[in-house]
Amino acid sequence: DQQVKQNSPSLSVQEGRISILNCDYTNSMFDYFLWYKKYPAEGPTFLISISSIKDKNEDGRFTVFLNKSAKHLSLHIVPSQPGDSAVYFCAAKGQETSGSRLTFGEGTQLTVNP
């Protein structure tokens, strides 16, 4: 039972354009969402997060949108840069989750072409 799903395994965009990465979840008890970025041969690194009481959080070129009614969140990168090419993981935390555990999606490989 995959509670966090990223349905697009890959996404390719041109440098300077917008990248939109999507994530859907099924557990209505999730109350905090995060995006991680992963380069090859490295561990994932935290990118941006959002609480379930908000619908938008922005940090520089990165914006995360949350639509609770649709159980959907998205990460927007504007403008996209070649250095943004990486695997992006969506993650979620449940209110009832002990140990602050996060549930991750499958990941989306973003390629930004010069």
Partner 1 sequence: DAGITQSPRHKVTETGTPVTLRCHQTENHRYMYWYRQDPGHGLRLIHYSYGVKDTDKGEVSDGYSVSRSKTEDFLLTLESATSSQTSVYFCATGKGGANSYGYTFGSGTRLTVV
Q: Write b or e for each residue in 94-106: b if 16 or more Cβ atoms lie within 10 A of its Cβ, otherwise e.
A: beebeeeebbbbe
**Using the rule CB under 8 A, is 10 a contact of partner 1?**
no
Segment interacting with partner 1 (CB under 8 A) among 11-19, 37-45, 65-73, 75-83: 37-45
Q: 49: which residues sit within 8 A by CB, 6+ positions away?
A: 32, 33, 34, 35, 57, 64
Q: Which of 41, 60, 83, 96 binds partner 1 (CB under 8 A)?
A: 41
Identify the DSSP state of 29: T
Longest Cα separation, the chain: 44
**Using the rule CB under 8 A, is 107 a contact of partner 1?**
yes
Q: Which of 8, 22, 27, 49 binds partner 1 (CB under 8 A)?
A: 49
Q: Which of 10, 28, 46, 113 binds partner 1 (CB under 8 A)?
A: 46
Nearer to partner 1, 18 or 46 (CB): 46
Nearest to 111 by CA among 89, 84, 92, 88: 84
Nearest to 47 by CA among 94, 99, 107, 4: 107
Segment interacting with partner 1 (CB under 8 A) among 36-44, 54-62, 65-73, 77-85: 36-44
Q: Name the site residues for partner 1 (rule: CB under 8 A).
A: 6, 9, 32, 34, 36, 41-46, 49, 89, 91, 93, 98-107
